[in-house]
Amino acid sequence: MLDLSRLLPGPYATQLLADAGADVVKIEDTDSGDYARMMPPYTDEGVGAVFDSVNRGKRSVALDLKSEGGREAFLALAEHADVVFEQFRPGVVDRLGVDYESVRAVNEDVIYCSLSGFGQTGPEADRVGHDLNYVGMAGLLDLTRESPGHPPQIPGYPIGDMAGGLFAAFAMVGGLLSRELGNTGGEYVDVAMTDVVNSFSQAVAYDALDGEDPRPGETPLTGGVPWYDVYECADGRYVTLAALEPKFWQAFCAAVDRPDIADKHMTDDPAELAALREEIAGVFAERTRDEWEEELGDVEAMVAPVQTPRESLESDRADARDLIEREDGVPRVGFPAKSSATPADGGGPTPGHGEHTDEVLREAGYDDERLADLREAGAIQ
């Protein structure tokens, strides 16, 4: 697959595919390449850590797509590609001459996927944006606050970027599968990150589409009920309680020796809800977070600690799941699924800028003389 994306959302999509065994050829410009190469923080090798995290096992080809030679080289590669993936603003690939129709002219069976903030169509298609803009416009940010009177809180992870990348990977695999099954030939896929975050709203979408605006802190999954909430412990750290089902609520009440509140589950009386929340808060305030984990970690009470990113990534769970990879001594979060048929060619080091230009173009039929001419013209690096 040919990957024209940069920064985080698109490279995350193709990283997932590279980890699954895809031959991802990262197309970078001949100037500085993917901006993320230069973005702090940096690895010990001086490479941007985000770039390093989402470009493992790919091959890098540096082309000047604004030049005739660079565009022709790209189309020569596209002729034999299964997938072309881009993340430019709408209209950029058309101006460069590497849009779907141009690629389809040399490869009618290609799966061509575009990932953008607001999609290729609609009133916001040309609007610029980043993750925070997407989650804000998708309604997610409104529900991150404690209550309607509190300001929205920026999520700790760039949910729109990562969700968009994940869905783009899913869409590309879906297109490939449909083609291989003979249901379709090549096709064009338009993925908007804001649409994907909207798709995450299923738990509140019915009310929203029925004319009601779900309010933060008032829906069952945003703290509206005391049996699904976050509680402070004696050491100022936090635990989560998610006892939605009666059996888990009963297990929680038994484990903390509070049979007196067992029959309050699913009450909708405001006074009882407030009193129950206060009782639960009092229970958790009696011990530290780690003490509660020791006490309830093996109990089916739906209680878990709120961990920092470092705690989570260094946990026994992450270790047991082989989640962290250390290629060339650099730690990275690896592919999050385990398979009995893991591809032998998945993974690998992060490529240098243009490291594989000659190698990949030779595979497309370019000889040394032609490569030298393109390099002299500045079309490749």
CATH of the domain at 263: 3.30.1540.10
- Domain contains 160: yes
326, 295: one domain = no
30, 137: one domain = yes
Choosing from 267, 282, 305, the residue where a domain stops is: 305
CATH code of 338's domain: 3.40.50.10540
Rounded CA separation 34/264 (Å): 55
- Domain contains 52: yes
174, 263: one domain = no
Q: Is the pLDDT of residue 59 over 80?
A: yes
The residue annotated as part of the active site, out of 161, 190, 213, 322, is 161
Domain region containing 265: 228-232+238-305
Say if CB 16 and CB 166 are below 8 A apart.
yes
62, 189: one domain = yes
Does the active-site annotation cover 368?
Answer: no
Count of the separate structural domains present in the chain = 2
Q: Is the pLDDT of residue 311 over 90?
A: yes
- Domain contains 210: no
**Beta strand 228-232 with 238-242: parallel, antiparallel or unpaired?**
antiparallel
Rounded CA separation 45/40 (Å): 12
Please give the C-alpha separations between residue 69 and each of 6, 59, 66, 264, 359, in angstroms, as whole numbers: 22, 20, 9, 72, 17
Rounded CA separation 90/87 (Å): 9
Rounded CA separation 56/53 (Å): 7
Whether omega before 41 lies within 30 degrees of 0, making that bond cis, reads yes
According to DSSP, the residues that pair with 305 across neighbouring strands are 239
pLDDT value of position 309 = 97
358, 327: one domain = yes
- Domain contains 220: no
pLDDT digits (tens, 9 = 90+) for 322-377: 999 987 778 999 999 988 887 766 678 899 999 999 999 999 999 999 999 999 99
92, 146: one domain = yes
pLDDT value of position 346 = 64
Choosing from 249, 277, 305, the residue where a domain stops is: 305
64, 125: one domain = yes
DSSP 8-state secondary structure symbol assigned to residue 151: P
pLDDT digits (tens, 9 = 90+) for 222-265: 999 999 999 999 999 999 999 999 999 999 999 999 999 999 99
153, 295: one domain = no
Cα 339 from chain centre: 20
pLDDT value of position 327 = 76
pLDDT value of position 247 = 98
According to DSSP, the residues that pair with 72 across neighbouring strands are none
- Domain contains 206: no
296, 247: one domain = yes
84, 6: one domain = yes
Say if CB 215 and CB 144 are below 8 A apart.
no
Rounded CA separation 47/42 (Å): 5
According to DSSP, the residues that pair with 380 across neighbouring strands are 63
**Strand stretches in 261-341, DSSP E:** 303-305, 324-327, 330-333
Rounded CA separation 226/273 (Å): 7
- Domain contains 215: no
- Domain contains 136: yes
**Residue 45 pLDDT level (bands cut at 50, 70, 90):** confident
Choosing from 254, 274, 305, the residue where a domain stops is: 305
330, 300: one domain = no
Concatenated DSSP letters of 78-108 = HTT-SEEEE-SPTTHHHHHT-SHHHHHTT-T
Say if CB 353 and CB 381 are below 8 A apart.
yes
- Domain contains 205: no
80, 168: one domain = yes
